[in-house]
Every structure is written in structure tokens, then in C-alpha cells.
Chains A and B, each alone.
Chain A
Amino acid sequence: MSEVLQQPQYHQDGDSAQAGETLLQIRGLEKHFPLSGDFLEQLRFEGGRLKRRQEFVHAINGVDIDVKRGETLCVVGESGCGKSTVARMVMGLLSPSAGEIRYDGQRIDDLNPRQLLPYRRRMQMIFQNPYASLNPRMSIQQTLEEPLRFHHPDWSRQQILDKIGEVMASVGIDPEWGKRFGHEFSGGQRQRIAIARALAVEPEFIVADEPISALDVSIQAQVLNLLMDAQEAHHLTYLFITHDLAVVEHFGTRVVVMYLGRVCEVAETRTLFDRPRHPYTQALMSAIPRLEDDGPDHIKLPGEVPTPVNLPSGCVFHGRCPHANDRCRHEIPQLIEAQGSQVACHAVEEGRI
């Protein structure tokens, strides 16, 4: 009911916005970072001839993700899986090597900065490190004022000050503290200010890249509650990047599990935790230390995470998977439907597990 009352304020175009439709669509996303330095460094003398050798870090290798309006989609994975890279590409901080990103039906990955401007208001981001996400040389008020002036050049000074006060109070920071600088606040408070900055322009979609990982446990709870409150109050859609599965279980609507730049499994939260299908997901679930445990008891994965420079052939996980067969070594698995989840695994497809 409250959705109907609030809606017109938050959507600039497309009055047909309803919960459940796809807001963000990622198809075939790929990103390769060149490792070999500039042109001169790439030239090598091999076999008597001058050759150009290029090495890449294959950070993302074909990712498809849908984010539905109103949901909290969590992307989980360990370091090197590419989840942060996906977040940065969605926000336009990096450009994809291949693939498409569509927002509200419009392709946004190939727009120039001027065309992208209207989307900047609708899509915002919260970062991991509260100590680096505020400019040390700007006061809080300046930090919050600048985006408002930029996106609302017609607002009066008083309107801006009012908005700043409102948004600071909504995240639990005393508006009187606007003249202070970032280093005078604790980590949790800085993260609140970063959230205030994101909320100030009234976005509809927020990408949160590990927003609570750098905080203490009791502060994590506060900030997470704040994010949940904000979602309810402003009908936000979250793309939530994290490695903390406990948070995912509590907060997420659906979960995407990534490994080495590919999606292993996509499922509703409850389904993922009750019945993880992909072998990597199963190993991940078993590795979380739970309070009830008396001793570590987890599925051990042999080997190490391979380097994203030389990707394994076929399924990226085959080197460490207890169920790998020959097909796994040669053929890249695609996401298939399997009892409520989508899984990219030959063994699941073949019914072996």
C-alpha cells in the first residue's frame, strides 16, 4: 500500500514500475585486465623475431545476472571470484570487455558520461572501506552538499540544507555535526555517512560492495538494520556483494554464488542454504564457522584457487571438484534450472549429484 503512495517520487521514466520486474540485467559480461604493461613492454624477442605477448587477468568470464525490483540480490564468493568487478562495471567505474548491462531496459554500459547522468541519480553505490570512502579534506556537509547541488541545480540553499539535515538524521548522525571531518567519526559512523550520501539523491537501486565487512560485529548489526530500514522506507533494490554468508542468510532475497569470474549457482536464499546444489556452494556452506560447532568440520577442497591469468579449461572449478569428470575438463557448464535453483554444473545436469 505504501508503495503506491510513494512511487511517483522515485521513478523518472516508466510509470509501469512494479515490484518484481527486472531492474538490472547483465548478459554475457566479460572483463579482462591487461597485465603486460604498455605497448613497448609487450614486445618480446622470441625465436629470433619480435613478438607481441599479452597476458590478461580474466576477472569475469561470462556472467548473467538479473536483479528484480525491490529485492536484495546477494552476490557471494571468495577473493578473486570477481564480485567486486561486477559491481564496479554495473556502476560504470569499469567498462566491460564484452557483454551487456541493461538498466530498466536501457543499455548503459556503452553510454558516454553525459548520457549516463540521469542514471547516476537512480543508481548509487556504498563501498567497503569506511575510512577511504569519505574525502578527508571535505567536511560532512560539503560531502553531502555536492551531489545535491550537482543533481539539483535549481534547489535553493535552504532546500539543500534541509535535505542534508533530513538525510543525516535518517541515518542516525546528528545534523549539528555537519561541519566536522571524516576522521572525527568512527568506522560505523562513517559508513552511515556514506549511506546518507547515497540516499541523498533518492536513488532506486543501490550497489553495496561489502558495506559491513570492515566494521565490528555490534556495529555491523546497526548498519545492517539501517540498510533494511532504508530499503523499506525508500523501496530500494539492493545488489549486495559480500562474503559473509550469515548476512546473506538473514538479509538476502536471492543469492548468486560466483567462482573465478563465473556464476555457479543462483537461488532463493532459503533454497540455497537448505539445498546447495553446486559442489562449490556446498563446500562454502560447510566452511562457515557456526556457533554450534564444537570443532571444524567442513568439506575440504583440494588444491588452491587457480590464478585468473591462466584459467582452467572447461569448468573453472574442475580442478578442485570431487565430482569432476572428463566433460567437466573440456566443456564450460551453462546455468540450468534444477529444482528451483539455477546451477552451472555438469554433474547436476547429469544427475550424478
Chain B
Amino acid sequence: MALLEVSNLDVRFALRQGEVKALRDVSFTLDRGERLGIVGESGAGKSVAAFTILNLIAKPGYIADGSIRFDGRELTTMKPRQLQQIRGNKISMIFQDPMMTLNPVLTIGEQMIECLKAHRRIRSRDAREIALNKLRQVYIPSPERRLDQYPHELSGGMRQRIIIAIALLLDPDVIVADEPTTALDVTIQAEIMELLLELCEKHNVALILITHDLGVVSQVTQRTLVMYAGRVIEQGPTREIINDAQHPYTQGLINALPQMATPGQRLNQIPGSMPSLANTPPGCAFHPRCSFSDDANGERRRDCREVIPTFVRSGNCDVACHMVRELVESRPSESDASDDNSHKHREAL
């Protein structure tokens, strides 16, 4: 049984201009110790997904449908007190900006000890020991001194390490990291990602990494979900998604990277922009921008325009795309022709 099972999650926000569906029919699983990446641009709903797992969505947002099962227990119907035992304890979270996550008027030690004492009955002395231990695990030099320092006295990279240490304090089963390195410099980012990777492997902690940076995802995660306009549109092993993306949006995203274009030439851009969640097109949300949604006559395909695509398995990935479905279903057999066809559809690009 998977550690975390999210099924058909539907999250909505009741705003005054109407109801906005932030997450639509989102499903994924996470096994113990597995590292999952959630990739998407702003407005895709990846942060909402992260907050929902911890049931941190507050009014006007609410979970309209679906279930989140953690270790067999249903989180969406839990009372706040029961949720408290899971939050921070079994599932902990790392946010984007370390300066905003740490309380500026409390020392590091006070914050760590408070965290421990909120979940366990232990003495301050023991809590301090555990805190020191975790600081050592994240390779913070002179940890005893750090415990008595305030967040503003430390650099950005150190603060993020401390956040990771706090996330590990209670030996959680899952860490949800929401863009943990976006606010950091490239050299610090590399160190933090390496640290996260090492810790997750060493302590068998599962990781959900939310980011827009495909490079980071390729380095750290084993599986990846790609989100667009509140839906998951492709999921599968990270390596395969990066090397052989099937959904036109994922392909477009990868091709839009500067490293994919010839220096001096124009970058491959996806026309238009992601629709706002209040106003998504019917059918496949990506169809207005998709170069494959036209049929032989040059008109928009009816299914792309009207029908929301469901997942089809192609290779090791699940892809929500009508065109991919057509290609998969037109394959004579699963085994040998699959390589042939994937070449065919890439030539068609």
C-alpha cells in the first residue's frame, strides 16, 4: 500500500467573481522513501496541491471532492486535533522563503524546541539535544552557537538548512518542499538539493518536490507529475519525462528552455499563456495553445475542444492527451511497435 494516496482531488475557491477550481481531479500516489516531483508554471495549482495534502487550505478554499489517504487514514475528514498529530510530525513542509518561515523574534533554538515540544512530551534539555543532532545532520557548522542566534544573523543558505533540520526534527515520513530553492543562489541551490537528496536516501523519507525548474527535478526526483491549469497532464519516471515527454505542453516546456535552442536563434516558445483558473477553456485546457490540436482540415479537433482527456499509458508514463491516445490505440502491439510510433510522432513535430 502506498504511503500517500491522493484520489480525484477537487479543490475550489469561493471568490466573489465566482467559484474557481484550483485543482481538478488530481490523483497520484507516493510510496515510502520515494521522491516525487510536481512541475508546473504559476497558476497550475502545484502549491495548492502541496497545501491540500496537509489540509492547510483555508477559506475561501475548500476540498470539494476526492480523498487523501495517508498510511491508510483519510485526511480530508479528520478532525483538526487528529490532523495536528500528522502535520509536522509525519508530514512536514518546507516553504519557499526561509526568511518568512522563521520567526524573526525567536532564536533558532527556541523555534526548534517549541516544535519538538508541541508534538512530544520531552524535557527542554532532551529537545535541545535532538535539535543539535539535526543541525549536525544538515551540516551546519558550530551548531551550538546557531541555536542561540536569530534568523537575521544567518545567511540564506544556512536558513534553508535550518528549515530542513526543523522539518526533520520529528522524523517525518514525508517532506513536502514547495520551491525550496527558488529564492537561493545557484551555488547554494545545488548544495541544498544535494542535502535533501542525501537525507531522503539516508533516512528513507519520501519527498514531494514542487518546482518550476526542470533541471532541479531531473537531479533529485524519481517520478514527476506535470500540472497545467489545475490538472495533472502527464506523470511518470522523471528520466522518461525529461528525455521523452509525450504531452505537447511538457514538450513545449522543455523545448522552451534556452539550453534546447541554438545559441543566437530564437527560442522555441509556446504561444499564449496559461489560462486563469477562473476561465479555463472547455475540453483540454491546453488546446488553444497546442499545435497538435488541429485535424487534417486545419480545424480544431472536436475532442480537444470538448472532451477532457483521460490518462492513457504510453511507455511508462500516463499522459492525458487525445492525440497521444490516438497514437497509442493505433499501435498494432505493445512491445516492439512502441519505439517505432514514438519516433513517428516525434517526427511529426
Are A and B direct contacts in the complex by CB distance below 8 Å? yes
User: In the bound complex, how far is the Cα of B189 from the Cα of A137, in angstroms?
Assistant: 37
Chain B binder among A112-120, A145-153, A289-297: A289-297
Nearest-Cβ distance from residue A140 to partner chain B, whole angstroms? 17
Nearest-Cβ distance from residue B154 to partner chain A, whole angstroms? 9
B256 with A220: CB separation less than 8 A = yes
* Contact digits for B204-241, partner A, Cβ 8 Å, 1 yes 0 no: 00000000111110111000000000000000000100
Nearest-Cβ distance from residue A282 to partner chain B, whole angstroms? 11
Q: Does B58 make an interface contact (CB < 8 A)?
A: no
Partner of A216 from B41, B193, B218 at Cβ < 8 Å: B41
Q: Does B252 make an interface contact (CB < 8 A)?
A: yes
Q: Does A40 make an interface contact (CB < 8 A)?
A: no
Q: Does A288 make an interface contact (CB < 8 A)?
A: yes
* Contact digits for A212-225, partner B, Cβ 8 Å, 1 yes 0 no: 00001111111011
CB-CB < 8 A to A246: which residues of B? Answer: 257-259
- Given A218-B252, A250-B263, A304-B155, CB of A296 within 8 Å of CB of B219: yes
CB-CB < 8 A to A229: which residues of B? Answer: 266
Partner of B186 from A188, A243, A250 at Cβ < 8 Å: A243
Secondary structure of the A contact surface, majority rule: helix
Q: Does B273 make an interface contact (CB < 8 A)?
A: yes
CB-CB < 8 A to A250: which residues of B? Answer: 258-259, 261, 263-264, 267
Nearest-Cβ distance from residue B267 to partner chain A, whole angstroms? 4
A221 with B270: CB separation less than 8 A = yes
B219 with A288: CB separation less than 8 A = no
User: In the bound complex, how far is the Cα of B323 from the Cα of A207, in angstroms?
Assistant: 44
Nearest-Cβ distance from residue B26 to partner chain A, whole angstroms? 20
Partner of A301 from B187, B212, B216, B274 at Cβ < 8 Å: B187
Q: Does B268 make an interface contact (CB < 8 A)?
A: yes
Partner of A221 from B157, B186, B256, B264 at Cβ < 8 Å: B256
B267 with A221: CB separation less than 8 A = yes
Q: Does A160 make an interface contact (CB < 8 A)?
A: no
Query: Which A-chain residue is minimally distant from B267 (CB atoms)?
Result: A221
Q: Does A298 make an interface contact (CB < 8 A)?
A: yes
Query: Which A-chain residue is minimally distant from B255 (CB atoms)?
Result: A221
Query: Which A-chain residue is minimally distant from B193 (CB atoms)?
Result: A296
User: In the bound complex, how far is the Cα of B41 from the Cα of A195, in angstroms?
Assistant: 22
Query: Which A-chain residue is minimally distant from B40 (CB atoms)?
Result: A216
* Contact digits for A267-308, partner B, Cβ 8 Å, 1 yes 0 no: 001100000000000011011111111111010110011000
Q: Does A247 make an interface contact (CB < 8 A)?
A: yes
A218 with B215: CB separation less than 8 A = no
User: In the bound complex, how far is the Cα of B197 from the Cα of A293, in angstroms?
Assistant: 14
Nearest-Cβ distance from residue B136 to partner chain A, whole angstroms? 17
- Given A224-B267, A304-B155, A304-B157, CB of A291 within 8 Å of CB of B257: yes
B257 with A245: CB separation less than 8 A = no
Q: Does B86 make an interface contact (CB < 8 A)?
A: no
A228 with B252: CB separation less than 8 A = no
B218 with A293: CB separation less than 8 A = yes
Query: Which B-chain residue is minimally distant from A186 (CB atoms)?
Result: B273
CB-CB < 8 A to A269: which residues of B? Answer: 263
CB-CB < 8 A to A296: which residues of B? Answer: 190, 193-194, 197, 219-220
Query: Which A-chain residue is minimally distant from B215 (CB atoms)?
Result: A289
User: In the bound complex, how far is the Cα of B242 from the Cα of A219, in angstroms?
Assistant: 19
B273 with A188: CB separation less than 8 A = yes
User: In the bound complex, how far is the Cα of B216 from the Cα of A291, in angstroms?
Assistant: 8
* Contact digits for A118-155, partner B, Cβ 8 Å, 1 yes 0 no: 00000000000000000000000000000000000000
User: In the bound complex, how far is the Cα of B258 from the Cα of A269, in angstroms?
Assistant: 14
CB-CB < 8 A to A224: which residues of B? Answer: 258, 267
* Contact digits for B23-52, partner A, Cβ 8 Å, 1 yes 0 no: 000000000000000000110000000000
Query: Which A-chain residue is minimally distant from B212 (CB atoms)?
Result: A217
A218 with B191: CB separation less than 8 A = no
Q: Does A79 make an interface contact (CB < 8 A)?
A: yes
- Given A218-B41, A287-B186, CB of A251 within 8 Å of CB of B218: no
Q: Which of A170-198 contact B (CB under 8 A)?
A: 186-189
- Given A243-B185, A291-B254, A296-B194, CB of A218 within 8 Å of CB of B270: yes
CB-CB < 8 A to B20: which residues of A? Answer: none
User: In the bound complex, how far is the Cα of B253 from the Cα of A218, in angstroms?
Assistant: 6
Q: Does A78 make an interface contact (CB < 8 A)?
A: yes
Partner of A289 from B42, B218, B263 at Cβ < 8 Å: B218
A291 with B218: CB separation less than 8 A = yes
Which 10 interchain pairs have the tightest Cβ spacing? Answer: A289-B215, A78-B185, A250-B258, A216-B41, A221-B256, A221-B267, A287-B190, A221-B269, A246-B258, A296-B194
Residue positions of A touching B, CB distance < 8 A:
78-79, 186-189, 216-222, 224-225, 228-229, 243-247, 249-251, 269-270, 283-284, 286-296, 298, 300-301, 304-305
Residue positions of B touching A, CB distance < 8 A:
41-42, 155-158, 185-191, 193-194, 197, 212-216, 218-220, 239, 242, 252-254, 256-259, 261, 263-264, 266-270, 273-274
5 contacts between A and B (CB under 8 A): A250-B267, A291-B214, A291-B259, A292-B218, A304-B157
